[in-house]
Amino acid sequence: MAEKTDTRVHRPHIPSPARRRVNRLGRGGFQAATIAFFTIFAAFPFYWMLIATFKTNQDLYRPLNNPFIFNQPPTLDNLKLLFNETNYTVWIGNSIFIGIVVVLITLLLAVPAAYALARLSGRLGEQLGILMFMVYLIPPTLLFIPMSRVITVLGLRDSIWSLILVYPTFTVPFCTWLLMGFMKSIPADIEEQATVDGYTRFGAVVRVIMPLALPGLLTVVVFSFTLTMHEFIYALAFVSISAQKVISIGVTSELIRGDVYFWQSIMSAGIIVAIPVAIIYNVFLDRFVAGFTLGAVKG
């Protein structure tokens, strides 16, 4: 009896099973709509680039055409122009080469620096780390003028080596700061244990710290590679010979001639590079995010 009274009293607060199902459906629908919106939002540029790549001029430029579909048969002419009449493959090669060399330089400098700042110098290390991060915040739009002097004096103008020299100036500070957070999150105990277990400090770093900092190292690789890929100002200011250009400059400077835009070729140039980068990014995304948030959580 008492139980029955109880249920009646509480009934207004408890949705019936049917009601709950409706709620769940409503929530599910809202979720699906949100996901759909952002998926389209993110994927649409890719679709646009892809479809434009194969469109003829008449198809693309007639205002009466439906822009979302092919109104005329697709063509490969734009790709032919891109590969046969520009240095596109050379630019890709340059970008990848610069990316790899800059990643190596960054690792070589940032890993020891981050370890030293995290472990060896105590409070001072932390402040120096923040200071290094500040360097990263100075925009290239200010730095490219003095840098340009340096490049000229070194005789590196119009050479990809100018970019290899300059890019580490922003990848190294940021990656050092990023790795510092990682190194700090690795307990000092573990490293000390390794030194008691018969290893030198260097041995301990290589065998214990490095494997544990692997997510951080991967983050650094992905981050500095993509950063060099999309860098624009230095590449524009220091290199004007076609064969030494990188992808970000080559496409924009040589596929826009005066007021003539080779839209289809620009689009194809973009998507050919964007898809592999997007795939790599997604494969490493979890680790990448972990890399950025780790320092924040475990300060």
Partner 1 sequence: MAVVETVKLSKHFNDVKAVDGIDITIQEGEFLVLLGPSGSGKTTLMRMIAGLEKPTGGTIKIGDRVVNDLPPRLRNVAMVFQSYALYPHMSVYNNIAFSLRPLGMTRQQIDDKVHWAARMFSIDHLLSRKPRQLSGGQRQRVALARAIVREPDVFLLDEPLSNLDAKLRAMARDELKQFQRQLGVTTIYVTHDQVEAMGMGDRVAVMSNGRMHQLGTPQVLYQSPADTFVATFLGTPPMNLVETDSCLLGFRPENFLPEAAHPDTPHPLVIDFHLTRVEFLGSDRLLYGTIEGADGPVKVVGDLPSVIDYTPEPGTICPMMVDRRHLSYFDKSTGQRIAPTPFALRGLRDPAGTA
Binder of partner 1 out of 102, 208, 229, 271 (CB under 8 A): 208
Cβ atoms of residues 244 and 160 within 8 Å: yes
To partner 1, the closest distance from the beta carbon of 221 in angstroms equals 19
157 CB-side CA count, 13 A: 11
Residues 6+ apart with CB under 8 A from 162: 151, 154, 156, 234, 238, 239
User: Using CB under 8 A as the criterion, what x/- string covers residues 61-100 for binding partner 1?
Assistant: ----------------------------------------
To partner 1, the closest distance from the beta carbon of 127 in angstroms equals 18
The encoded tokens of residue 102 equal 């800059």
Binder of partner 1 out of 33, 197, 261, 286 (CB under 8 A): 197
State the burial class of residue 7 (Cβ atoms within 10 Å of its Cβ: 0-12, 13-18, 19+).
exposed
The encoded tokens of residue 123 equal 């409070």
Binder of partner 1 out of 64, 137, 153, 196 (CB under 8 A): 196
**Residue 124 interacts with partner 1 (CB under 8 A): yes or no:** no
How many chain residues interact with partner 1 (CB under 8 A)?
17
Among residues 3 and 189, whose Cβ is nearest to partner 1? 189
**Residue 199 interacts with partner 1 (CB under 8 A): yes or no:** yes
**Residue 211 interacts with partner 1 (CB under 8 A): yes or no:** yes
Closest CA to 129 of 182, 176, 186: 176
**Residue 203 interacts with partner 1 (CB under 8 A): yes or no:** yes
DSSP assignment string, 153-208: HTT-TTSHHHHHHHTHHHHHHHHHHHHHHHHHHS-HHHHHHHHHTT--HHHHIIII
To partner 1, the closest distance from the beta carbon of 207 in angstroms equals 8
User: Using CB under 8 A as the criterion, what x/- string covers residues 154-193 for binding partner 1?
Assistant: ---------------------------------x-xx-xx
Binder of partner 1 out of 90, 212, 218, 236 (CB under 8 A): 212
**Residue 121 interacts with partner 1 (CB under 8 A): yes or no:** no
Among residues 190 and 289, whose Cβ is nearest to partner 1? 190
Among residues 137 and 196, whose Cβ is nearest to partner 1? 196
Which residue type is seen at 129?
G
Is residue 263 within a helix (H) or strand (E), and if so which, with residue range? Answer: helix 263-283
Question: Helix, strand or coil for residue 260?
Answer: strand
> What is the contact surface with partner 1 in residues (CB under 8 A)?
187, 189-190, 192-200, 203, 207-208, 211-212
